[in-house]
Homo-oligomer: A and B are copies of this chain.
Amino acid sequence: MKALMYTKPAKMDGFTVLEPGVCELMDIPEPELKPEEGMKIRIDYTAMCATDAHVVTMGLYGAPCPQILGHETMGTIVEITESGEDAGFEVGDKVVVNGSAPCGCCDQCKRGNDNACYNKIFGQVFKMSGAFTEYVTAYPQQCFRIPDDPPVDPKYYCLTEPLATAMEGIDLADIKIGNSVLLQGCGAIGSIILNMLVLRGCTSITVSDPVPEKRETARKLGAQYLIDPTTENLEERAMEITDFRGYDIIFDVAGVPSAAPLLPDLLAYRGKLVYFAVFPMDYKLPLSLYDLYLKEGRIQTVYTSFYNIPRSMDLLPRMDLDTIVTKEMKLSDGVEIFNEFLRSKNNKIIVKCSDL
C-alpha cells in the first residue's frame, strides 16, 4: 500500500536547521491485524497538521525516522478481533482513530492526567505509526465510533483530533460569555480555534494574520476585526477596538517568536493569554512580570487531552467545516500535500487516502 513517509531527518546544529528532512510517498506492506489488537481500519481521510510538517522540517519532538506521517484521521473497520467486538465495534463501522491512548496503569493515568501517561508514545504504543496511508491496525481504546447518519459528511471527522486539542485550549482559557478576544494567527489550527471562539460567545473578535487568504477565512468564520500586522499597528488597533481595556482573552497560534512578546501588553485586567502554538524548542519569551502583575494577568499553555475526543465529535456538526477545510487532496498527491501546506495559503487540507 502507499504511505507518505518521513524518510530522512533534518540536519541540525543544536536547534538550528541546516537542512530540512525529507518525506516521500512509498510502497509498504499492508499491516496485519494481531490478536491483541482490536481492528484493522481502512483510512478514508487524514488531515494535514503543522506538527507533521515540523517533524520533517525541524525534527520536532525528536520524532523517530522513518515513520508514516499523519495523525488526524478517520476510516472504516475492515477486520476485527474479539477484543474489538467486546468493545462494541463491528466491521463497517466508521471510526475516528487517535494516534495513542493512555495506558491506564501508570501514576499519571491513575491521576486522570491522560496525556501525561508515562507509557504512551505518540504513534507507537498503539502501533499506529501514521495515517497518511491506506490501512492501519488499532486498539479499541484509540477508536471512537462515528454515529450512523452523522449530521455532517463523515470525512470531516478526520478533524476530531485537532478539535480536541483546540478544545483543550478553549477549556483552559476559562472564557466567560461576552469576553473580548484576540487571535494571532489564523492558519490550520487557528481557524479551528477561531470557530470555537465564535461559538464560545466572545466579543470584539479580532484576528491578526499577515496572509490575505487567512484573513478572508477569518472573516467568513465570524471575525469582527481583521488586522494585517505587516501594514497595521497591532497595539494601536487593539487599544482602539477594546476602548483601551485590552482583551480579556488572547490566543497566540502563530508561534512566531518575534510576534509573541507584544501580547501580554494587549491583555485586559485579569486577562488570560494562551500561547497555544508550539514554539521553537530554544525560544525564550522575555516576559515582564511587573507589567503582568499590574493587571493580574495569566499565561496558559496547552498540550491536549484524550478525554476531549468524544466531546469534539459531539461539537463537530456545529463547526463551520466547509470554511475551515480549504483544500481536499489525494494520497497519491504525495509530497505535493506537504508543499501545498508549506505555501501557507490554506487553513485545513484534508487528504482522501482510499477509494470509498
On A, residues with C-beta under 8 Å from B are 87-88, 101-102, 104-108, 110-116, 140-141, 144, 167-168, 170-172, 176-180, 196, 199-201, 203-204, 245, 260, 269-270, 275, 277-290, 292-303, 305-307, 309-312, 314-315, 317-318
Contact = CB atoms under 8 A, between A and B. Distances in A.
Nearest to A174: B174
Nearest to A15: B290
Contacts of A141: 104-105, 110
Oligomer: number of copies? 4
B178 A315 contact: yes
Nearest to A297: B301
Contacts of A309: 110
A293 B301 CA distance: 5
A305 to B, nearest CB: 8
A310 B140 contact: no
A221 to B, nearest CB: 14
Identify the interface centre among A106, A204, A307, A312: most chain B CB within 10 Å of its CB: A307
Contacts of A303: 293-296
A106 to B, nearest CB: 8
A127 to B, nearest CB: 16
